[in-house]
Amino acid sequence: MATKTLDTLGLKCPQPILKVATLVPQMNPGDILEVLADCESFPKDIKAWAEKTGKTLLFCNTDADGKHTAQIQF
Amino acid sequence: MAKVAITVNGAEPVNVFPPFILGSSAVASGDDLIIFFCPGGAPAMVKGVIEKMEGKGLPNLLELYEGVRNLGGKIYVCELALDAKDLKKEDFRDGIEIIGATTFINEIKDATITFSF
């Protein structure tokens, strides 16, 4: 199992999700993708994406500056 | 998964951003996507045009376009645009297909989500 980090800070919806989607072919079952984002809609969007694509959203936390960190298990 | 069909009949940013924002979200989530540019929207798909489109607070349009392409979204221009807008096939971006209305209607007969901009 590998862990990969994707930095989408500064990108607007839906670019963070688009970048997650383009990484899918590189991920193997069990791999974890950590995504950093600061666009407002990211927590709801990544939850919706994970539900729809059958991936596991391990968590999505937001710090005091509005920066989101999410981990998705493939 | 859904099948999303979007028609675009204007070539201003207000017409062109929404199909690529919604369309890229759709293909990113595994949906099928077809975007059909009517003659009014076709000039936006001429080479070099979306590179110049930007909007305050909006995402990078070229990246959304490339995301749609890379994730299998289909982008069509109506053949009527050729004469209506004095454009040639080679004026359009690579990967754009020129089709007729009947072909489009046939391809979207099982679309579950539709938008028009």
**Residue B108 confidence (pLDDT):** 96
Q: What average pLDDT does range B37-58 have in this prediction? A: 96
Q: Do B60 and A15 touch (CB under 8 A)?
A: yes
**To 10 degrees, the CA torsion angle through B4, B10, B11, B12?**
-100
Q: Would the pTM of this model clear 0.80, i.e. be above it? A: yes
CB contacts of A37 in chain B (<8 Å) are: none
Question: Residue A26: which pLDDT band, with cuts at 50, 70 and 90?
Answer: very high
Q: Is B71 on the interface with A (CB under 8 A)?
A: yes
Question: Residue A9: which pLDDT band, with cuts at 50, 70 and 90?
Answer: very high
Which of 3.40.50.300, 3.40.50.11240, 3.20.20.80, 3.30.110.40 is the CATH number of A3-73?
3.30.110.40
Beta strand ranges found along chain B (DSSP E)? 3-8, 32-37, 74-78, 97-99, 113-116
Q: Do A12 and B29 touch (CB under 8 A)?
A: no
d(CA A4, CA B100) in angstroms, rounded, equals 44
Domains and CATH numbers, chain B: 3-116 (3.40.1260.10)
Question: Smallest Cβ distance to B24: which of A14, A48, A52?
Answer: A14
Contacts (Cβ under 8 Å, ≥6 apart) of B54 = B13, B60, B61
